[in-house]
Amino acid sequence: SLAGVQLAQLAVGVLGVLLVTGEYATGSIRVSLAAVPHRLPLLWGKAVTFGVTAFVLCVPAAVVAFFVGQSILSAENLNIGWDQPGVMRAVLGSGLFLAAVGLFGLGLGALLRNTAGGIAALFGLLFAPQILVGFLPESVSDHVYKYLPAPAGQAITFLEADPTSSPEPWVGFGVFCLYTAILLGLAAWQLRRRDA
pTM: 0.88
Q: pLDDT value at position 5?
A: 86
Cβ 133 vs Cβ 165: under 8 Å = no
Could you tell me how far CA 130 lies from the centroid of its own chain?
16
Q: pLDDT value at position 79?
A: 67
Q: pLDDT value at position 196?
A: 56
4-18 confidence digits (pLDDT tens): 888 899 999 999 999
Q: pLDDT value at position 112?
A: 93
What is the Cα–Cα distance from 101 to 119, expressed in whole angstroms? 12
Consecutive 10-residue averages of pLDDT for the chain (196 residues): 85 95 87 83 93 95 87 73 83 93 95 93 92 85 87 86 79 95 94 75
63-95 confidence digits (pLDDT tens): 998 888 888 877 776 667 777 888 899 899 999
Q: pLDDT value at position 51?
A: 95
Helix, strand or coil, per DSSP, at residue 160:
coil
Overall residue count recorded for the chain in this entry: 196
Q: pLDDT value at position 157?
A: 87
* Amino acid at site 97: F
